[in-house]
Structure 1
Amino acid sequence: FELIKALKIQMDVSIAECLYTGIVSDTGSFRFPSTTAKTLRIAAELLETGLDFSRIQRILFGTSEFKRIKLLGRALMTMESHLDGFVSTMNLVASDFNTLSISDRDSGDIVNYGLEPPEADVSVLFKEAEGFFRVSVRTKSVIDASALCGKFDGGGHVRAAGCNIKSDSLEEAKRAVLDEIERMRAV
């Protein structure tokens, strides 16, 4: 946006749609803490070009392939509440991906559903792989997702991070993460 302005390029609808799509995606539709007043001012200026923001929202957040919805359903069926509702966990096993002919990459946003209960501050999605679990973490405010995943040689951002936990047992992997969350919460 700033480069386009600096180069004095005419901001047309096509350019505005691309920039707006990136901003809406990166800010989770302006829900993430990274959203600033500057972000909103830029978005407002992009809207003034006449772009169809509702179409962009619908494409980004309102449409999913049938098999992705089925995968979400499988994950939601496994949702559990821990530590008096502070943590939600879900899991997907290899057969979930194989049966639906879907990639692990298509499960990225599922972890966000665990933050919907008002008392939940942490959501963890465990995805079975060969000899380990891919772990996706999202948090609201208390726990630093990057610090949590860093304990398992992973990383990411304060509110969204991931790691791999070497384990053949879901319960063992889950216990390791829950123990670390409990330790971090007590500090």
Structure 2
Amino acid sequence: MKRQIIDTIERYDKIIIHRHVRPDPDAYGSQIGLKELISLNYPNKKVFATGIHENTLDFLARPDKVLDEDFQDALIIVTDTANTERIDDDRYKQGSYLIKIDHHPNDDAYGDLLWVNTNASSVSEMICELFEEAKEYRGWKLDASIARLLFAGIVGDTGRFMFQSTTLQTMKYAGELISHGFDRTELFNGMYEVERNLLQLKGFVYENFNMDENGVGFVKLTREILQKYKVAESEASLLVSALADVKGMRCWVFFIEDEKEIRVRLRSKGPIINEIAKKYGGGGHPLASGASVKTWEEADIVIEDLKML
């Protein structure tokens, strides 16, 4: 499969790489890391990373401005995106051939060529694996800027190597990336330093979360609360893991209201929660998933669903 992907990349002069909406470090790490990896090893190819930029990831990278005509006869690669509804930039349909590279459950088997590995900690780890194959197969090289992107993606999706998805292979790749000598202190500052208002909202979360006797928790962040603390919805999403430190917490949900809907961010220390996410039009990993609901009444039903686990 990896050699098929490499062979396909070699056949195309234009390559456009997509990822999911509302990107996280693994989305940028895998997407833009792969873009830079291809560009380094095939300097004559035109390679683009498309999608709406997430300002909280300014420290990491920025996507490109891609014109409609760029999609003509282009190879499309979609990273870290389980289903077509979540692909950022629906012009992916205008390409000539589509490759899916992902580590979520393959419920939507889209694409002409699919590489899905649910055992991988992140798609950034999968790109490391692709590079190892290409290094042997075609003599690919990797530099410090690419290593920085892929390392950030792995760190982000493993919760700084704390999640069970972290394997010996994950640590091996992380160690190899570190050997390229990028500034890890600068990278970690970008990933984890936050403004004072977000810390104050975190304090609100700690003071106001609910947890029942079975370890099911929830937090409701309304638009009024977000406006009070001057925190954007994307910034509030950074707090979802805050309740992982609560003793006795088995699974929990953050509800974050924006102008159109209420984001549902599900996390778990054991119970499988992605089936609940699918029920509300979302999806994700067994212990980390997301969805959306339209009303607070629907949000209350999500809480009841969690209590049934």
Partner of 1:79: 209
Which residue of the other structure, out of 168, 173, 178, is the alignment partner of 1:37? 168
What is the identity, as a one-letter code, of the residue corresponding to 2:244?
Answer: L
Structure 1 vs Structure 2 CA RMSD: 2.4
How high is the TM-score relative to the length of structure 2? 0.51
Q: Is the alpha carbon distance of 1:179 and 1:45 closer, same or farther for their aligned partners in structure 2, counting shifts above 3 Å? A: same
For structure 2, the 5+ residue unaligned runs are 1-127
Which residue of the other structure, out of 169, 173, 181, is the alignment partner of 2:299? 173
Q: Deviations over 1:49-86 (max 9, x none)?
A: 3333343233212x01223223322333221111x151
Q: Give SS of 1:108's match.
A: helix
Q: Deviations over 1:94-144 (max 9, x none)?
A: 1122234432111112121122123111121122356853221111112x2
Partner of 1:113: 242
1:49-128 matches, within 5 Å, as 49-61=180-192, 63-82=193-212, 84-128=213-257
How high is the TM-score relative to the length of structure 1? 0.80
Q: Is the alpha carbon distance of 1:28 and 1:168 closer, same or farther for their aligned partners in structure 2, counting shifts above 3 Å? A: closer
Q: Which runs of 4+ in 1 moved over 6 A?
A: none
For structure 1, the 5+ residue unaligned runs are none
1:155 aligns with 2:283: yes
Q: How many residues align?
A: 178
Q: Give SS of 2:263's match.
A: strand
1:137 aligns with 2:137: no
Deviates more, 1:144-153 or 1:126-135: 126-135
Give percent identity, aligned residues only.
28
What is the identity, as a one-letter code, of the residue corresponding to 1:106?
Answer: E
Q: Deviations over 1:7-52 (max 9, x none)?
A: 4344333332222122212222112222222111111112223333
